[in-house]
């Protein structure tokens, strides 16, 4: 799987469009880099770029952007509301996919070393890359800002990690490092900047000093006035959204604003945001307001509405949520077919798609029928007394149906990979060993895919039983068909498990898998029978 790293360089220029575009072009023209967002602020005179790529590509992209900044930005004339230390003020590297924090630490050090060597620039390391505790935080390194750097950099305590320990007037210094995904988040207030700052001091971790810490951890912030919006903001960096997510900050601002008789006018996310943080907000409001929302896109819409993310600029999930931006097209050629085409493909003279794909399809359709009946019971006036029960039953059925869909293609992919392994050369001892290892792994995959089908389908039985017991009897036959389809899907997947087990040499894997598969097969027969008996006994 691809390694993806996010790089979020902050440049001290937010007004000169030619400079902003030139830096963007440098990133765009770097092979392997994908520029996701450009957020320029006139009042802050600062632009935040967000791009992703492989570990090697993001280093090259950041270096290319820095070269342009050296030519275009002169810190001697820079003025802006945001704290800053240099032309390329800070350049963090963030793990996104299949990359560890340790790898990002190495990436940041590689970037810092090369930036210093190539351009003679002082570079400091921060966050996970820092080796000195007293200069681990960005605020510690930025203390005194660009104007104070001249005297600070020549001291022993503030010798740069890379580059010369001298003041470069046109540049200043750059801070780089690896960090968790930082969310730049602003809550809008119809207030004075002093009132906004007062609230920020109440909330940010540092508070008003050592003796008066703020209420929220992993939050840096201040209050200011944004002329472009004609309103004040509590502007924060959420260093770890698992500690303090955006919705918690928003709700705490609302509490303090209420005490001061100040109106909250929505909020904004500067740059990009992880999907998880948005879904956390959605789940918070779903629980708080006793809502019932299943679909991801509806949860995203709820979070946008409750946080007021469209208040000062359009929040387009496809352009703001990082997972949606970098998402690759699903490799599901079978699941994407029409029903007619899928059946014709199965009926063709080809061994794939075969029984495993059909088993996953049938199991998915069985669970889907249960989900349908539960949803047709929810919200109907005559069944209002069952709403709470249906809210419990629908999610496992709904999610199981969705989880089974990718397995339709996974089974065919596994079969094709095994067939390809059969064609590997075996002329030398090394080739024979490699082929044997590849074939064994291929067999395990060929077992694990239908075994996963069984596990997902098996987990749906209790919800199916309760749907049979309480669901709308007008859909009795749908639950009957669903139960039999679910059983058939599990039994079909079972056959695809046992047919591939004999040639697997790992006895422990083989024995454990076979026992669990047999248990699920027996359970499927019993549970289906129970559902049919329940339905036959119901009169209403």
Catalytic residues: 82, 411
**In terms of C-beta density within 10 A (0-12 exposed, 13-18 middle, 19 or more buried), how is residue 261 classed?**
exposed
**In terms of C-beta density within 10 A (0-12 exposed, 13-18 middle, 19 or more buried), how is residue 196 classed?**
buried
Contacts of 167 (CB under 8 A, 6+ apart): 149, 150, 153, 154
Helix (H, G, I), strand (E, B) or coil at 278: helix
Distance CA 214, CA 193 (A): 18
Report the chain's C-alpha Rg in angstroms: 29
Closest CA to 87 of 71, 108, 105: 71
**In terms of C-beta density within 10 A (0-12 exposed, 13-18 middle, 19 or more buried), how is residue 67 classed?**
middle
Other CB atoms within a 10 A radius of the CB of residue 77 amount to 7
Give me the residue label for tokens 């019993």.
526
Closest CA to 102 of 159, 135, 55: 55
Contact 253, 203 (CB under 8 A): yes
Q: Strand locations in 229-302, DSSP E?
A: 231-238, 263-270
Other CB atoms within a 10 A radius of the CB of residue 82 amount to 18
Prior bond of 280 cis (ω within 30°): no
CA dihedral 230, 234, 235, 238 (to 10 degrees): -150
The DSSP code sequence of 164-179 is -SS--TTTB-EEEEE-
């Amino acid at each position: 799987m691809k390694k993806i790293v996010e790089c979020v360089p902050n440049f001290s220029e937010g007004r000169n469009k030619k400079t902003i575009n030139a830096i963007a072009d440098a990133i765009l023209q770097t092979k392997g880099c994908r520029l996701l967002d450009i957020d320029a602020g006139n009042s802050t005179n600062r632009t935040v770029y967000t791009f992703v790529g492989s570990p090697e590509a993001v280093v090259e992209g950041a270096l290319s952007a820095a070269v342009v900044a050296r030519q275009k930005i002169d810190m001697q004339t820079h003025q802006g509301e945001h704290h800053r230390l240099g032309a390329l003020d800070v350049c963090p590297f963030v793990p996104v996919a299949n990359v560890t924090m340790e790898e990002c630490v190495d990436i940041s050090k590689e970037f810092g070393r090369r930036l210093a060597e190539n351009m003679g620039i002082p570079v400091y390391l921060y966050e996970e890359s820092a080796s000195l505790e007293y200069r681990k935080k960005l605020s510690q390194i930025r203390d005194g800002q660009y104007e104070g750097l001249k005297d600070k950099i020549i001291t022993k305590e503030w010798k740069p990690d890379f580059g010369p320990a001298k003041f470069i007037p046109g540049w200043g210094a750059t801070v780089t490092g690896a960090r968790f995904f930082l969310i730049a988040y602003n809550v809008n207030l119809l207030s004075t900047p002093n009132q906004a700052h007062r609230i920020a001091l109440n909330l940010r971790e540092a508070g008003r000093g050592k003796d008066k810490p703020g209420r929220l951890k992993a939050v840096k912030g201040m209050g200011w006035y944004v002329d472009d919006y004609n309103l004040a903001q509590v502007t924060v960096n959420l260093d770890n959204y698992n500690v303090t997510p955006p919705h918690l900050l928003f709700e705490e601002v609302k509490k303090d604003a209420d005490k001061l008789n100040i109106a909250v006018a929505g909020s904004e996310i500067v740059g990009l945001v992880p999907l998880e943080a948005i879904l956390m907000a959605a789940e918070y409001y779903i629980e708080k307001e006793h809502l019932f929302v299943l679909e991801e896109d509806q949860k995203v819409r709820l979070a946008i509405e409750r946080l007021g993310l469209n208040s000062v600029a359009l929040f387009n999930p496809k352009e703001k949520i990082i997972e949606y931006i970098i998402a690759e097209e699903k490799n599901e050629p079978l699941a994407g077919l029409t029903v007619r085409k899928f059946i014709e493909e199965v009926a063709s003279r080809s061994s794939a798609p075969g029984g495993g794909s059909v088993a996953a399809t049938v199991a998915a359709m069985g669970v889907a029928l249960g989900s349908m009946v539960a949803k047709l019971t929810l919200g109907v006036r005559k069944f209002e007394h069952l709403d709470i029960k249906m809210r419990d039953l629908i999610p496992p059925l709904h999610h199981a149906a969705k989880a089974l869909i990718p397995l339709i293609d996974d089974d065919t992919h596994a079969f094709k990979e095994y067939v390809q392994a059969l064609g590997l050369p075996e002329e030398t001892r090394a080739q024979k060993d490699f082929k044997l290892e590849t074939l064994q792994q291929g067999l395990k995959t060929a077992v694990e895919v239908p075994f996963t089908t069984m596990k997902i389908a098996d987990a749906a039985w209790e919800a199916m039983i309760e749907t049979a017991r309480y669901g709308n009897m007008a859909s009795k036959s749908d639950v009957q068909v669903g139960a039999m389809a679910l059983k058939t899907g599990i039994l079909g997947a079972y056959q695809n498990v046992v047919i591939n087990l004999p040639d697997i040499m790992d006895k422990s894997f083989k024995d454990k898998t076979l026992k669990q598969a047999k248990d699920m097969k027996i359970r499927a027969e019993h549970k289906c029978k129970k559902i049919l008996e329940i339905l036959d006994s119901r009169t209403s």
